[in-house]
Chains A and B, each alone.
Chain A
Amino acid sequence: MADQRSMTIKGNMATAMGAKLCRPKVVPAYPITPSTLFPEKMSEFIADGELDAEMINVESEHSAMSACIGASATGVRTCTASASQGVALMHEMLFVASGMRLPIVMAVGNRALSAPINIWCDHQDTISSRDSGWLQFYAETNQEGLDLMINAFRIGEDNDVLLPAMVGIDAFVLTHTIEGVEVPAQEDVDDFLPPYEPPHGRLDPDEPSTFGSFGTPEYYQEFKQAQVEAMEGSREVIDRVFDEFEERFGRRYNKVTTYKCDDADIIILTMGSMTGTAREAVNRMREEGKKVGLAKLTVFRPFPYPELEEIMSGAKGLAVVDRNISPGGFGAVYSDLAGASINIEKKPLIKNFVTGLGGREIFVKNFVEIYEKTLAAVEAGEVKKPLEWINMNQEVMR
């Protein structure tokens, strides 16, 4: 392996550099806070001759995703970036991209949805695209943001997968924060990620063919099932690609990464940048002799049922922390986990904690509170309140 370059960069720069190392050919994008730096940097790379690609400045995110679909269908590697209202505006086209099995990669600066207008960190934007058939990855750090971009192309383009992928980096906490990052050498990424060769043909004026056509009731359901099978098949591909990535670049990724879970009575399940603060909380609680562990979800789609089943088997209580909410329901991670665990015989009590919405901080003390509330449920032997809100502003509540 060639030497990696150590730099201090923002999360947006990390995903942009990750994307650039993958040599995309087309980058259609519409800037939106907090991911604006991504298209800016991609434009710069192209203008400076560091990246041989076509930048398409479009008039909306709907158009950005439409252009991604057209470009990707011609058989070239395609990426974009967006956030919040932008992801919401392209919602319709997200389904078209996955239904046409186009392995587009999108970096998302995870941000709240209006109203009220809010530009800060929240997972509602990508969570609300949960059912669009895209692979979903969430980064804890800028390093993860960069690395997951490379992994996302490799996994999505695998012939057994052929699905688009989103890489989420938390608004401001990562997008606008400088951290130390190791940037892989171009030659190593070139070895790791071969050029994209679509196996089922491409849009070509010389050889006309139809893409994304009509699917009548006789066919539609089978197309959807094939998409689901691709998503299921991606589980093994993700493991294999993460293994290869570690072998080549020395950094380990898992669908779910556990920390001090072996003897833990209570496990806290997190996603995204909050994981760092949760780890700090676990360390402090461990010093006080509390048997608490941490599980970090890096892959949300496909939802890692088997891995989480294994983690759940040993614990007495599981605290699922969601940075999103389905009004009338629960947080998305909790819902999936509850669905996954319903037929498991030996499972912990599971509680859902919603916090961190719209940029609300999640402090170490909040994770301590989450631990204590889960422990209290375990000691009482029942979950009286499955959903609890954490770190509410009491002034506003009055």
Chain B
Amino acid sequence: MYEVRFHGRGGQGAVTAANTLADAAFREGKDVQAFPMFGVERRGAPVAAFTRIDTEPIDIKTQIYEPDVVVVLDTSLLDVVDVTEGLKPDGKIILNSAKDPGDFDYPGADVYTVDATKIAVDNGLGTETNPIVNTSILGAYSRVVGNVKLESLYDGIANNVPVKIENNKKAAKEAYEQTKGL
């Protein structure tokens, strides 16, 4: 079983990222769950969303407390939220940042970065101040974790993203290619 936690701000698409990842893995014949932090969501407030992926049927129905990987859509959250909370030893952290992984200090975790904001804006997904980075960062996820193929992500995007499907696919591909820290 592989457990993923997404951190973002309300409106940035963290929930859609979790759903899209689940759908992509489901297309590969895996069992999946994806869910938001149970409760209320406000635009701009820190939010979390989760995905579970397994080659076996998933029975467990609790929320995710010890993720294998954490995906951060907005690094302004790093001062507000402990994104490493519960992260498994040797877990992975994927950050939307133009910086290098070495610029972040998370002992015991493997850090990866991708400039998902630039990729998103270059592909017409949102604006500089309000970029929609969820599909870009999923490209990085595919590259880093490797348990969901880029091609499956394309299917997940087609099923879950309401507009600009081709732009979103292209953004995922570019992020896949530009991920740092491998």
**Is B3 part of the binding interface, using a Cβ–Cβ cutoff of 8 Å?**
no
**Is B31 part of the binding interface, using a Cβ–Cβ cutoff of 8 Å?**
yes
A274 to B59 Cα, complex, angstroms: 9
Name A7's closest neighbour in chain B (CB-CB): B159
Interface residues of A in 168-224 (CB under 8 A from B): 172-173, 176-180
A278 → chain B closest CB, angstroms? 8
A8 to B16 Cα, complex, angstroms: 12
Chain B hits for A120, CB < 8 A: 38-39
Q: Mark A110-130, 1 if CB is under 8 A from B, else 0.
A: 000000000110000000000
**Is B34 part of the binding interface, using a Cβ–Cβ cutoff of 8 Å?**
yes
Asked, given contacts A8-B19, A8-B159, whether A277 binds B62 with beta carbons under 8 Å apart, the answer is yes
B114 → chain A closest CB, angstroms? 24
B59 touches which one: A177, A180, A280, A363 (CB < 8 A)?
A280
Query: Are B61 and A274 in contact, with the CB atoms below 8 A?
Result: yes
A274 to B61 Cα, complex, angstroms: 7
Chain B hits for A172, CB < 8 A: 35, 38-39
Across chains A and B, the number of contacting residue pairs, with CB separation under 8 Å, is: 60
**How many residues of chain A have a CB within 8 Å of chain B?**
24
A119 to B159 Cα, complex, angstroms: 29
Asked, given contacts A8-B34, A178-B32, whether A273 binds B22 with beta carbons under 8 Å apart, the answer is no
A364 to B1 Cα, complex, angstroms: 15
A378 → chain B closest CB, angstroms? 26
Chain B hits for A180, CB < 8 A: 26, 31-32
Interface residues of A in 335-380 (CB under 8 A from B): 359, 361-364
Query: Are A179 and B32 in contact, with the CB atoms below 8 A?
Result: yes
**Is A6 part of the binding interface, using a Cβ–Cβ cutoff of 8 Å?**
yes
Chain A hits for B39, CB < 8 A: 119-120, 172
Chain A hits for B97, CB < 8 A: none
Chain B hits for A280, CB < 8 A: 59-60
**Is A23 part of the binding interface, using a Cβ–Cβ cutoff of 8 Å?**
no
Chain B residues touching A, range: 20 to 34
Query: Are B62 and A363 in contact, with the CB atoms below 8 A?
Result: yes
A214 → chain B closest CB, angstroms? 46
Query: Are A178 and B19 in contact, with the CB atoms below 8 A?
Result: yes
**Is B131 part of the binding interface, using a Cβ–Cβ cutoff of 8 Å?**
no
B34 touches which one: A119, A177, A362 (CB < 8 A)?
A177
Query: Are B61 and A277 in contact, with the CB atoms below 8 A?
Result: yes
B131 → chain A closest CB, angstroms? 24
Asked, given contacts A279-B59, A361-B62, whether A8 binds B32 with beta carbons under 8 Å apart, the answer is yes
B53 → chain A closest CB, angstroms? 11
Q: Mark B53-82, 1 if CB is under 8 A from A, else 0.
A: 000001111110000000000000000000
Main secondary structure of the interface of A (DSSP, over half): mixed
Chain B hits for A177, CB < 8 A: 33-35
Query: Are A273 and B32 in contact, with the CB atoms below 8 A?
Result: no
B108 → chain A closest CB, angstroms? 25
A37 to B39 Cα, complex, angstroms: 15
**Is A276 part of the binding interface, using a Cβ–Cβ cutoff of 8 Å?**
yes
Interface centre among A173, A179, A283 (most CB of B within 10 A): A179
A176 touches which one: B23, B32, B35 (CB < 8 A)?
B35
Q: Mark B114-152, 1 if CB is under 8 A from A, else 0.
A: 000000000000000000000000000000000000000
Query: Are B32 and A276 in contact, with the CB atoms below 8 A?
Result: no
Q: Mark A263-300, 1 if CB is under 8 A from B, else 0.
A: 00000000001101101100100000000000000000
Chain A hits for B63, CB < 8 A: 361
B2 → chain A closest CB, angstroms? 15
**Is B36 part of the binding interface, using a Cβ–Cβ cutoff of 8 Å?**
yes
Chain A hits for B58, CB < 8 A: 276
B26 touches which one: A8, A277, A359, A362 (CB < 8 A)?
A8
Chain B hits for A6, CB < 8 A: 26
Query: Are A273 and B33 in contact, with the CB atoms below 8 A?
Result: no
Interface residues of B in 16-32 (CB under 8 A from A): 18-19, 22-23, 26, 31-32
B13 → chain A closest CB, angstroms? 15
Q: Mark A1-25, 1 if CB is under 8 A from B, else 0.
A: 0000011100000000000000000
A172 to B35 Cα, complex, angstroms: 8
Chain A hits for B40, CB < 8 A: 119
Chain A hits for B23, CB < 8 A: 8, 178
Chain B hits for A8, CB < 8 A: 19, 22-23, 26, 32, 34, 159
A177 to B23 Cα, complex, angstroms: 12
Query: Are A176 and B59 in contact, with the CB atoms below 8 A?
Result: no
Q: Mark A67-111, 1 if CB is under 8 A from B, else 0.
A: 000000000000000000000000000000000000000000000
Chain B hits for A179, CB < 8 A: 32-33
Chain B hits for A277, CB < 8 A: 59-62
Nearest 6 pairs between A and B by C-beta? A172-B38, A177-B35, A178-B34, A276-B59, A276-B61, A280-B59
Given A8-B34, A178-B22, A362-B62; 13 other pairs, CB 8 A cutoff = A7-B159, A119-B40, A172-B39, A177-B34, A178-B33, A180-B32, A274-B61, A276-B58, A276-B60, A280-B60, A361-B62, A361-B63, A362-B61
Residues on A close to B: CB < 8 A? Answer: 6-8, 119-120, 172-173, 176-180, 273-274, 276-277, 279-280, 283, 359, 361-364
